[in-house]
Amino acid sequence: MKNKYLILTLILISLLSLNYVSAQIQSLSTSKINTNISLTQTVTNSTYCNLTKITYPNNTVLNVYAFMTKNGNDYNYYYTPDSLGTYSYITCCDPDGIDTCVGVSFEVTPNGTKLTTSQSITYTIIFIISLLILIALLIVGIFLPSKNKTDQMTGYIIALENLKYLKFFSLMFAYIVALLISYFSYSICYTYLDFTFLTSLTYFLFYGLLVCTLVFFPIMIYLLISNWIHDNAIMDGINRGLHIR
């Protein structure tokens, strides 16, 4: 008879413990890296709550064994995460006199926000559209003529080719779109993705294109102006009946 009561008591204690765990397991909101945050545990009828360990994103475990500060039913411990990724920590409390340990997890990102499904779809659409625009501009810039029309037999210029100006502008706009795509990619990788290599690659690409802008655009503007001046001189010569190559 005593054994039956003992078994029932153990089952009751187990159920109470499971109930506490299921009710109190928390997942903190996404936190910002290098920012002081509160590691929280909420529990009723507990005389203490201790933070026992913190697990880093690289699975390194830090044994803490620190008292948490009580504020009503909330127990807090302030901590500053210095790595990106998923953290977890263990708290041990005694609700209703029952020693119980509970795990809590939270995400750490560069700006304290997490990429949602709707944001992922939106950013993907923006990236695809931008990439299609870039490809279209490159095709136009590559395949449009860059020289004036000439007579195949004599090589004399017979007409000006104004499409070459569209070629210049297409290449310039393609460069701008490529710069925007690289910045957009870098921002997404830095803000939401825990992928150091890809973040570094997009960072290098963006700043490389940004620096090259100081060379690319002056050259393109020079070519536009020089072609315009040269075409005006050619048109003047053609109007006077001269043969120009």
Which residues in 206-235 are b (16+ Cβ under 10 Å) and which e? beebeeeeeeeeeeeeeeeeebeeebeebe
Could you give the C-alpha distances from 92 to 5, 23, 60, 136, 234, in angstroms and in order?
28, 15, 20, 60, 87
How high is the mean pLDDT of the chain? 81
CATH number of 23-109, picked from 3.40.50.2300, 3.40.50.720, 2.60.40.10, 1.10.3720.10: 2.60.40.10
Q: If you search the block for the tokens 């992922």, which residue do you land on?
A: 120
Please name which of 21, 18, 16 lies closest in space to residue 90, comparing C-alpha atoms. Answer: 21
Q: Answer with the residue of higher pLDDT: 220 or 154.
A: 220
Per-residue pLDDT, averaged over 205-220, amounts to 91
Strand pairing report for 37-42 and 74-79: antiparallel
Domain positions in the chain = 23-109, 117-239
H or E element that contains 48: none
The predicted-structure confidence for 115-147, as pLDDT tens digits, reads as follows 778 888 888 899 999 999 999 999 998 888 877
Residue 144: the pLDDT is: 87
Global pTM reads 0.64
Tally the residues of the chain: 245
What percent of the chain shows pLDDT beyond 90? 29
Residue 151: the pLDDT is: 64
Q: Does pLDDT of 18 surpass 50?
A: no
Per-residue pLDDT, averaged over 196-205, amounts to 88
